[in-house]
């Protein structure tokens, strides 16, 4: 990475059955991030859809869209209008099967690219009959990066952050920034675990970790579904750079410093010495 760059993570509130209010919320965040100088805006997992993993399969399949569908069209238009790239979560329709839980990148020139499919799909929670694995097709065990400005960016979708092999694969693929798109409940997590995962993974792999999370409680399924993540950013040395209080919808601006990246990569013993074979990483990402 040769030049400084700024990106923003935008928290998004609880969803209903109509995606339009969430589109508008995202568009307001994109506009604010652009005014603040961001070149990339990161939105959460499935940002415009309610979280229905515990329901009988069908809802997300019905709500899934093509890559050129209405959500991508709105985010693409916002990217072009404000001159920023926008990374966002979407239930991506798949011919002949369950959809992918995907992360798509809208570029200012109008292109829409798929950056990630969620690899690890959480099982049913305690006392529940269904989990994400009943609603989605798991992605292939691979992590890719795309160039956005002077940065190489990888995306991990929510539960994928739990697997160190995914972070390692992102670093091996040349990522400067690992964007984590977060949504859904994690009621059994000890306090502080989520932030600790991001911090340790950023430091171990000498990358920026930037998480954009849903917030609030949804009730569209007839029972409360609470989003437990936080919008946070950590530097490649593990330093906490910024964090948004739960319920704060303002964009979180993060400056990506090439000198900080270079220093972390020169001095991190973990990043320099951990060299697992690619076959090990791919096999681990399957499990």
Question: What is the third-level CATH fold of 5-286?
Answer: Nitrilase/N-carbamoyl-D-aminoacid amidohydrolase (3.60.110)
Angle at 223 between CA 218 and CA 227, to 5 degrees: 35
The predicted structure's pLDDT at residue 273: 63
- Per-position pLDDT tens, the chain of length 287: 878 899 999 999 999 989 999 999 999 999 999 999 999 999 999 999 999 999 988 878 888 999 999 999 999 999 999 999 999 999 999 988 999 999 999 999 999 999 999 999 999 888 889 999 999 999 999 999 999 999 999 999 999 999 999 999 999 999 999 999 999 888 888 999 999 999 999 999 999 999 999 999 999 888 899 998 899 999 999 999 988 887 788 899 999 999 999 999 999 877 766 555 555 445 455 44
Rounded-to-integer distance, Cα 229 and Cα 233, Å: 12
Chain segment 125-144, per-residue pLDDT in tens: 888 899 999 999 999 999 99
Phi, psi of 249 (to 5 degrees): -95, 5
Sorted by sequence, the CB contacts under 8 Å of residue 240 that are 6+ apart come out as 195, 199, 232, 233, 234
Q: Write down the domain spans for the chain.
A: 5-286
The predicted structure's pLDDT at residue 190: 92
The predicted structure's pLDDT at residue 160: 98
The predicted structure's pLDDT at residue 268: 83
Rounded-to-integer distance, Cα 9 and Cα 173, Å: 22
Chain segment 59-115, per-residue pLDDT in tens: 788 889 999 999 999 999 999 999 999 999 999 999 889 999 999 999 999 999 999
């Amino acid at each position: 990475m040769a030049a400084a760059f700024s990106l923003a993570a935008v928290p998004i509130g609880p969803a209903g059955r109509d995606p339009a209010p969430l589109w508008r919320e995202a568009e307001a965040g994109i506009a604010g991030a652009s005014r603040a100088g961001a070149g990339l805006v990161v939105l959460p997992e499935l940002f415009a859809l309610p979280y229905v993993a515990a329901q009988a399969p069908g809802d997300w399949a019905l709500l899934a869209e093509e890559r050129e569908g209405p959500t991508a069209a709105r985010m693409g238009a916002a990217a072009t209008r404000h001159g920023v790239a926008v990374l966002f979560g979407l239930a991506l329709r798949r011919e002949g099967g369950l959809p992918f839980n995907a992360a798509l990148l809208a570029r200012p020139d109008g292109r829409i690219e798929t950056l990630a499919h969620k690899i690890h799909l959480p099982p049913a929670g305690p006392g529940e009959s269904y989990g994400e694995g009943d609603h989605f097709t798991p992605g292939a065990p691979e992590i890719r990066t795309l160039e956005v400005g002077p940065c190489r960016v990888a995306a991990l979708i929510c539960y994928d952050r739990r697997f160190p092999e995914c972070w390692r694969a992102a670093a091996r693929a040349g990522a400067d920034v690992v964007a984590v798109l977060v949504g859904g409940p994690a009621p059994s997590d000890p306090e502080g675990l989520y932030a600790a995962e991001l911090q340790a993974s950023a430091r171990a792999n000498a990358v920026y970790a930037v998480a954009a999370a849903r917030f609030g409680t949804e009730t569209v399924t007839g029972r409360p579904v609470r989003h437990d993540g936080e919008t946070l950013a950590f530097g490649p040395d593990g330093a906490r750079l910024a964090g948004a209080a739960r319920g704060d919808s303002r964009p979180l601006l993060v400056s990506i410093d090439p000198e900080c990246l270079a220093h972390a990569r020169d001095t991190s013993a973990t990043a320099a010495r951990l060299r697992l074979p690619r076959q090990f990483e791919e096999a681990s990402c399957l499990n």
